[in-house]
Amino acid sequence: MVVIGVISAVSTQILFDTLTVKSKQNSLEQSTDASYVIIEQIVSSLKTAKSVNIPNANLIEIQGDALCVNYRYNLVNLSIERAQDVNPPCSPDLYLTLTRQDTKITNFNFSPPGFLPENVSILIEGESQNSLGVHPFKYQTSVVPRVSL
């Protein structure tokens, strides 16, 4: 009986550890996919930009042929938001949240600040939460805007 009890306890612990690792893996995959989609949207906009402006680390303004797109970090909701407007007047004001409800963005910024940067660095840090806990993530990339004058 003791041997069966020990085997059961060890088996239960192994099963729990496996489920925990699988849950963390799924959470990271979902946050990776969501962050990848957001970064791809920004990169796509930068590749067709007529002008790029980074007024501060939490906002980028991208102006294309017929569309202006802004991406920003909402410090209150801990989310990434996007707004768009047609050219002109190029002053979008209705921001829509891009991040999932189970994800909190702790840092989303662009660098270097200024008008028409030679390259744009994008940083997304946050945490995804599920029933087994909080799973942090961090993604960073750089892109060279193809500003066409």
Residue 149 domain-assigned (yes or no): no
Residue 25 domain-assigned (yes or no): no
Q: Tokens 């496996």 appear where?
A: 18
Whether the CB-CB separation of 93 and 83 falls below 8 Å is answered with: yes
Side-chain half-sphere of 26: how many Cα atoms within 13 Å?
12
Residue 12 domain-assigned (yes or no): no
Distance CA(49)–CA(67), nearest Å, equals: 9
Residue 3 domain-assigned (yes or no): no
Residue 24 domain-assigned (yes or no): no
Whether the ω angle into residue 113 lies within 30 degrees of 0, i.e. cis, is: no
- pLDDT by residue (tens digit) across 46-97? 988 899 999 999 999 999 888 899 999 999 999 999 999 987 778 888 999 9
Side-chain half-sphere of 89: how many Cα atoms within 13 Å?
3
Distance CA(27)–CA(39), nearest Å, equals: 18
pTM value is 0.79
Tokens of 70: 């802004």
Residue 43 domain-assigned (yes or no): yes
What domain range is 108 assigned to? 31-143
Residue 23 domain-assigned (yes or no): no
Distance CA(41)–CA(111), nearest Å, equals: 17
Q: Kindly report the backbone phi and psi dihedral angles of residue 141, in degrees, each rounded to the nearest multiple of 5, phi listed first.
A: -150, 165
- pLDDT by residue (tens digit) across 89-133? 788 889 999 988 888 999 999 999 999 998 999 999 998 877 767
Domain count, the chain: 1
Entry field: residues in the chain? 149
**pLDDT at 74 (0 to 100):** 96
Q: Is the dihedral of CA 6, 7, 8, 9 positive or negative?
A: positive
Residue 100 domain-assigned (yes or no): yes
Q: Tokens 């612990």 appear where?
A: 13
